[in-house]
Homo-oligomer: A and B are copies of this chain.
Amino acid sequence: MHILMTGAAGMIGRKLTARLVKDGRLNGRTIERLTLIDVVTPEAPASFPGKTDVSASDLSAPGVAAKAVSGKPDVIFHLAGVVSGEAETDFEKGYRVNLDGTRMLLEAVRAANYKPKVIFTSSIAVFGAPFPRSIPDDFHLTPLTSYGTQKAICELLLADYSRRGILEGVGIRLPTICVRPGKPNKAASGFFSGIIREPLAGQEALLPVADSIRHTHASPRAAVGFLIHAAGLTTERLGPRINLSMPGVSCTVGEQIEALRRVAGEKVAARIRRAPDELVQRIVAGWAEQLDAKRARDLGFMAEATFDDIIRAHIEDELGGKVA
């Protein structure tokens, strides 16, 4: 089993790499080779007994995609992409990396004339308000960002290339990944993680929106689980509609805070400070609150059952079980 991963230096990429190395197998076959690429050189996993190639390269540059698939990887995890904020501020870069980069990867597979599994990380940003209370699997895609537009276009390409038998694609629409490890970033969604991560680390966190704001979350661990599960789905089981909204925990900010209080105590929860921010409030108002994700659940994709579980996953995976 040879696996290619794009965007391998990112948070999800690193966690997926660690999980694949730990498992040693995917879909019942031993992993013999890992090809890891990103715009910065991914770290080669220390304990992997097979062959590892790591390289810094941009999929949208000429020849890069062809080189990446030249070893005919059996499974391709295509995680690479410019994030939402950057795709909005840099129109050309967003389309070049997120759309052209993906198209070049798919075209490289077509030219290589073999049929790999291609797992693509899409996003619930393909949806745009106004929404029903819970978004059904057959809801239309009317993204309100260039990032969401690019993800939606890549979903359509992946489905057409799959339908034509060029590859076996699965597009997974990730909800907001929470709790993101590491430092606070400038993403408008950053506070969803920040109000859990910083208090657990003994730091104060700012909350820019009302406690009543509802959103859908899945842990980094769950996201890695989605990717592994997607790689194991047969085309017969998946059917022709290959792009799926992933399950997650839909809860309000107030419910996030209650969960933090239950899991880590009042002292930790008291480290959240209300600091309303109109810009963030406006952006968040356009986001999906809840998704049915019925098809994904029926196909066996599993997220956490409660936000308490999401906090516990963070404490186990990032804090060695300890709360500050």
* Chain A interfacial positions (CB closer than 8 Å to B): 91, 128, 137-144, 146, 149, 152-153, 156-157, 159-160, 163-164, 240-241
Residues of the B chain whose Cβ atoms lie less than 8 Å from the Cβ of A140 = 137-141
In the assembled complex, the CB of A169 is this many whole angstroms from the nearest CB of chain B, namely 12
Tell me the bound Cα distance from A141 to B127 in angstroms. Answer: 12
Let me know if A146 and B160 touch, CB within 8 A: yes
- Having A128-B240, A149-B156, A153-B153, one finds 7 other A-B pairs with CB under 8 Å, namely A138-B140, A140-B141, A144-B240, A146-B164, A149-B159, A152-B156, A156-B156
Tell me the bound Cα distance from A310 to B124 in angstroms. Answer: 42
Residues of the B chain whose Cβ atoms lie less than 8 Å from the Cβ of A152 = 156
Copies of this subunit:
2
Known: A138-B139, A140-B138, A140-B141. A153 touches B146 (CB 8 A): no
Tell me the bound Cα distance from A140 to B138 in angstroms. Answer: 5
Tell me the bound Cα distance from A139 to B149 in angstroms. Answer: 17
Let me know if B144 and A156 touch, CB within 8 A: no
Residues of the B chain whose Cβ atoms lie less than 8 Å from the Cβ of A163 = 144
Residues of the B chain whose Cβ atoms lie less than 8 Å from the Cβ of A146 = 160, 164
Residues of the B chain whose Cβ atoms lie less than 8 Å from the Cβ of A240 = 128, 142, 144
Residues of the B chain whose Cβ atoms lie less than 8 Å from the Cβ of A137 = 140
Tell me the bound Cα distance from A128 to B241 in angstroms. Answer: 10
In the assembled complex, the CB of A299 is this many whole angstroms from the nearest CB of chain B, namely 16
Residues of the B chain whose Cβ atoms lie less than 8 Å from the Cβ of A241 = 142
Let me know if A157 and B164 touch, CB within 8 A: no
Let me know if B157 and A153 touch, CB within 8 A: yes
Sorted nearest first, the 4 A-B pairs with minimum C-beta distance are A149-B160, A138-B140, A153-B153, A149-B156
Most buried by B among A149, A160, A164: A160
Tell me the bound Cα distance from A160 to B138 in angstroms. Answer: 21
Tell me the bound Cα distance from A91 to B111 in angstroms. Answer: 13
Q: List 16 A-B contacts (CB under 8 A).
A: A91-B164, A128-B240, A137-B140, A138-B139, A138-B140, A140-B141, A143-B156, A143-B159, A143-B160, A146-B164, A149-B157, A149-B159, A149-B160, A153-B153, A153-B157, A156-B156
In the assembled complex, the CB of A247 is this many whole angstroms from the nearest CB of chain B, namely 18
Tell me the bound Cα distance from A213 to B164 in angstroms. Answer: 27
In the assembled complex, the CB of A1 is this many whole angstroms from the nearest CB of chain B, namely 29
In the assembled complex, the CB of A68 is this many whole angstroms from the nearest CB of chain B, namely 21
Tell me the bound Cα distance from A240 to B160 in angstroms. Answer: 26
Tell me the bound Cα distance from A144 to B240 in angstroms. Answer: 9
Tell me the bound Cα distance from A91 to B160 in angstroms. Answer: 10
Contact of A141 among B91, B141, B143, B144 (CB under 8 A): B141
Closest-by-CB residue of B relative to A138 is B140
Residues of the B chain whose Cβ atoms lie less than 8 Å from the Cβ of A138 = 139-140
